[in-house]
Amino acid sequence: MHEIRESFDGFLSGAIYDLAARLTGYGPGYYRRAAWAMPIQPGMTVLDLGCGTGSLSLALADRMSGQGRIVGIDLSERQLRRAREKVTASSVPIELRQASIRELPFEDNSIDAIGISQVLHALPEDELTHTLAESARVLRPGGFLALVEWSRPRIGYTSLIWSLTVLGARDSHNWRGTYPEVMADVGLDLAVDVYLDSLNRCQVFAKPRRE
Ligand SMILES: C[S@@+](CC[C@H](N)C(=O)[O-])C[C@H]1O[C@@H](n2cnc3c(N)ncnc32)[C@H](O)[C@@H]1O
């Protein structure tokens, strides 16, 4: 499984990942705001790509009042083990699958919504393009992809903590704000664009309905 970032099958995974995330601005409030920024409806089929320890999947389940289907996908066994523990503890029906987000095991036009939080910035450009093309393939017309990623910082707690990291990535899509162009290349159009806190942004890209 060559595509995975080593760190997510090593020390910084599972419960340690959750603790580090919470201390650096990615606690439950971040996932709740992300889920509520998306035009999700109960009954939808939703994918959480690179779901990690399942925090966004759980917030989405809450948002959908347990109605619908949520599938979390990640390559890291350690991250998924922690996600399974959290899902079991909260008794919500979330499916978790070990797979690559490069090759989604779903039919064309079969998915209502995709959430993807803090994954794309770490992918090489060819893998990013491949993953987004795959996402556009499985989305139904009228469906959407919600990208939740760090962005150009404003003044606040999270941006302060991550300032050195983000300043070192000023040539990235995150800093330059070029995801709308990247998404347009795979046929997805910007529909919603909001900051969730001083650093993170939710951008919703819709797949046009057929004429
Ligand atoms: C920074 S974590 C974000 C986890 C989660 N989305 C969140 O917001 O807490 C990135 C996750 O992407 C997963 N990942 C990276 N490349 C992947 C790939 N090609 N296929 C599936 N998962 C991948 C990693 O295993 C890791 O769990």
CATH number at residue 79: 3.40.50.150
Tell me the pLDDT tens digit for each residue of 33-83: 999 999 999 999 999 999 999 999 999 999 999 899 999 999 999 999 999
Q: Quick one: three-class SS letters along 55-85?
A: HHHHHHHHHCCCCCEEEEEECCHHHHHHHHH
Q: Could you tell me if residue 157 is inside a domain?
A: yes
Ligand 1 pocket, Cβ-based, cut-off 6 angstroms: 3-5, 8, 50-52, 55-56, 74-76, 79, 100-102, 117-119
> Considering the domain boundaries, does residue 1 fall inside one?
no
pLDDT confidence of 9, banded at 50, 70, 90? confident
Distance 50 CA to ligand 1 centre (A): 3
Kindly state the average pLDDT of the residues 79-107: 95
Of the candidates 39, 44, 89, 38, the one whose C-alpha atom is nearest the C-alpha of residue 66 is: 44
Whether residue 116 lies inside any domain: the answer is yes
**Residue whose CA is closest, atom 20 of ligand 1?**
100
**How many angstroms is it from 211 CA to the middle of ligand 1?**
35
The dihedral sign for the CA sequence 107, 81, 52, 85 = positive
Distance CA 5, CA 23 (A): 21
Q: Using CA atoms, how far apart are residues 155 and 162, in angstroms rounded to an integer?
A: 11
Contact 121, 149 (CB under 8 A): yes
Comparing C-alpha atoms, which of 117, 102, 148, 113 is closest to residue 17? 117
CA atoms within 13 A on the CB side of 125: 5
86 is in which domain, residue-wise? 6-34+41-206
Which residue has a Cα nearest atom 11 of ligand 1?
50
Q: In this predicted structure, what is the pLDDT of residue 1?
A: 42
Beta-bridge partners for 195:
201
pLDDT of 66 reads 85
Q: Determine the residue of 8, 148, 199 to mutate for testing ligand 1's pocket, defined as the one with the most ligand atoms within 8 A of the Cβ atom.
A: 8
Distance between Cα 110 and ligand 1 center (Å): 22
- Asked, for residue 23, whether it belongs to a domain, the answer is yes
Give residue-wise pLDDT tens across range 139-196.
999 999 999 999 999 999 999 999 999 999 999 999 999 999 999 999 999 999 999 9
Tell me the three state secondary structure of residue 116: strand
Q: Residue 2 above 50 pLDDT?
A: no
Q: How many domains does the structure of the chain reveal?
A: 1
156 in any annotated domain: yes
Pick the residue whose CA is nearest to atom 13 on ligand 1. 50
The alpha carbon of 142 and the centre of ligand 1 are apart by a number of angstroms equal to 26
91 falls in which pLDDT band (50, 70, 90)? confident
- Please tell me the distance from the alpha carbon of residue 18 to that of residue 153, in angstroms, as a whole number: 22
